[in-house]
Amino acid sequence: MKPGTLGYLSGAPRVSTRPDAEASGPKSHILGFIGAFRKLGWQVRPFIVGDRMPAQWVGSGSERKLRRGVFHRVAADMVRLALAWRNRQAAWKEIGPVDWVYERFGVFQSLGRAFQRRGIPWVLETNGPFFYEAKTERRSIALSAVARRLEIQAYRDCDVLVCITSPLRDIIVREAGVPEDKIVLVPNGVDTQRFDPAKADGSRYFSMPTLGFVGSLIAWQGLDRLTTALAELRAQGADWALVVAGDGPERAAWEKLARDRGLDDRVLFLGSVPWEQVPAVLGRIDVGYSGQVPLKIGAMYHSPLKLYEYLAMGKPVIAAAYEDALRVVEPGHTGYLFAPDSMDELKAVLKEALRNRDRWEAMGAAARRLVVSRHSWEARITHLVKEVERIVGRRGA
């Protein structure tokens, strides 16, 4: 398919590309996606609801406000439901006819329907079973039955459904009854020009070996387990520092844990870091950490952006052995893997990495080459366009 015109939709009120946006992961994903389409010659007309919302909806502390009680969650849900209808019409009026429309799914939102009714293919991307995640893992919605019904209906009705991992695809097929042949797998990627180790200034947070984590401080990120492991290893003479860039509901508890385990001088919580500064943060660490623990739903369906960003910055990674990590981490070559439910394996790879620190530079260079050649956003979009063309073409035949 020759480059054409794409409508890019995001209906979630809290997801924004503005500098003050609290949700940095979605912001990075959206900007990477749109940027890659444009680099490949596409014209992109974005309609991002979060960019039009008041600061209190998208800025620091906005998610915490939604978790304060049922009243706040119900009120927020009602606002999102009202916005869905209004923004569906507004998106069509603003964007108009395009070759196809690509929507990042948000709870209660299905903006692409307005385009589909006019014969334009509606490609819908999901990053998780939101009806489950927002209620159970994040506890940010109240009208969960309504959210589930609308979400499943959107998955069934769209022309193409994009999932970020095969475990997520399997959940959607099982829970929503979506035919597998209309699903495209597109893992996260990275902007390798923005995440470039050549741009690092050479400064550091600690002089000692330093782990780094970038992301939301949510229970399934597993930083409590990492902190415990670091404290136990320190007592054995295997000493690490840790830099944590991000905010979230677990921050206070994890800061207290670090203090209680005597790691005050070795664990630095930076809080929420502006999106533009994330590459600089990663330039000041030695090894990236991505150690998600099993979710309550069973399968780990996330595709961690942080993995690709660490590697693009020339950093080897220590990662829980889930799908994305298994794709990009070759033990001893680009990083280290451990079983997600094994504290013993985590401590073992932390010790192994320290023993091999003279190889970190070479491992980081190999990691950088890997993501530049195979895991850039441009590579992801090239694959996506081919698959969408195949599925839409098959339906139109």
Q: Using one digit for the tens of pLDDT, what is the confidence trace for 49-96?
A: 999 888 776 656 555 554 555 656 777 777 778 788 889 999 999 999
Token reading at 314: 């020339």
Check whether residue 159 and residue 229 sit in a common domain. no
What CA–CA distance (Å, rounded) separates 208 from 219?
27
Query: Does residue 304 surpass a pLDDT of 80?
Result: yes
Token reading at 379: 């590579």
Check whether residue 150 and residue 177 sit in a common domain. yes
Residues 6+ apart with CB under 8 A from 160: 121, 122, 123, 124, 182, 183, 184, 387, 388, 391, 392
Q: What is the pLDDT of residues 226-269, one digit of tens each?
A: 999 999 999 999 999 999 999 988 999 999 999 999 999 999 99
What CA–CA distance (Å, rounded) separates 242 from 253?
16
DSSP string, 106-171: -TT--TTHHHHTTT--EEEEESS-HHHIIIIIS---S-HHHHHHHHHHHHHHSSEEEESSHHHHHH
What CA–CA distance (Å, rounded) separates 278 from 258?
23
- Number of domain units in the chain: 2
What CA–CA distance (Å, rounded) separates 69 from 17?
27
Check whether residue 333 and residue 274 sit in a common domain. yes
Find the range with the poorest average confidence among 12-26, 219-233, 270-284, 295-309.
12-26
Check whether residue 135 and residue 211 sit in a common domain. no
Q: What pLDDT, on the 0 to 100 scale, is given for residue 334?
A: 98
Query: Does residue 23 surpass a pLDDT of 90?
Result: no
Query: Does residue 134 surpass a pLDDT of 80?
Result: no
- 203-222: average pLDDT: 96
What CA–CA distance (Å, rounded) separates 66 from 376?
34
Find the range with the poorest average confidence among 30-44, 71-85, 135-149, 346-360.
135-149
What CA–CA distance (Å, rounded) separates 23 from 12?
11
- Of the CA atoms within 13 Å of residue 162, those in its CB half-sphere come to 24
Check whether residue 23 and residue 57 sit in a common domain. yes
Predicted confidence band of residue 212 (pLDDT cuts 50, 70, 90): very high
What CA–CA distance (Å, rounded) separates 369 from 264?
36
Looking at the chain, the whole-number percentage of residues with pLDDT higher than 90 is 74
Average pLDDT, the chain: 91
What CA–CA distance (Å, rounded) separates 333 from 303?
21
Check whether residue 146 and residue 231 sit in a common domain. no
Check whether residue 236 and residue 105 sit in a common domain. no
- 131-157: average pLDDT: 76
Check whether residue 152 and residue 36 sit in a common domain. yes
In 3-state terms, what secondary structure has residue 337? strand
Of 295, 308, 16, nearest to 129 by C-alpha is 295
In 3-state terms, what secondary structure has residue 103? strand
Q: What pLDDT, on the 0 to 100 scale, is given for residue 47?
A: 97
Query: Does residue 340 surpass a pLDDT of 90?
Result: yes
* Amino acid letter, residue 228: T
Token reading at 269: 């919580």
Q: What is the pLDDT of residues 348-372, one digit of tens each?
A: 999 999 999 999 999 999 999 999 9
Token reading at 10: 């995001």
Of 250, 302, 214, nearest to 138 by C-alpha is 250
- 129-135: average pLDDT: 68
- 115-135: average pLDDT: 87
- 145-163: average pLDDT: 93
Backbone angles phi and psi of 89, in degrees to 5: -70, -40
Check whether residue 361 and residue 380 sit in a common domain. no
The CATH number of residue 281's host domain is 3.40.50.2000
DSSP string, 23-82: -HHHHHHHHHHHHHHHHTT-EEEEEEGGGGS-HHHHSTTHHHHHTS-HHHHHHHHHHHHH
Containing domain of residue 247, as a range? 197-374
Predicted confidence band of residue 392 (pLDDT cuts 50, 70, 90): very high
DSSP string, 272-316: S--GGGHHHHHTT-SEEEE-PPPPTTSS-----HHHHHHHHTT--
Check whether residue 102 and residue 213 sit in a common domain. no
Of 72, 59, 75, 63, nearest to 16 by C-alpha is 59
Place of tokens 């970190």: 360
Higher pLDDT, 275 or 182: 182
Check whether residue 180 and residue 210 sit in a common domain. no
Check whether residue 94 and residue 44 sit in a common domain. yes
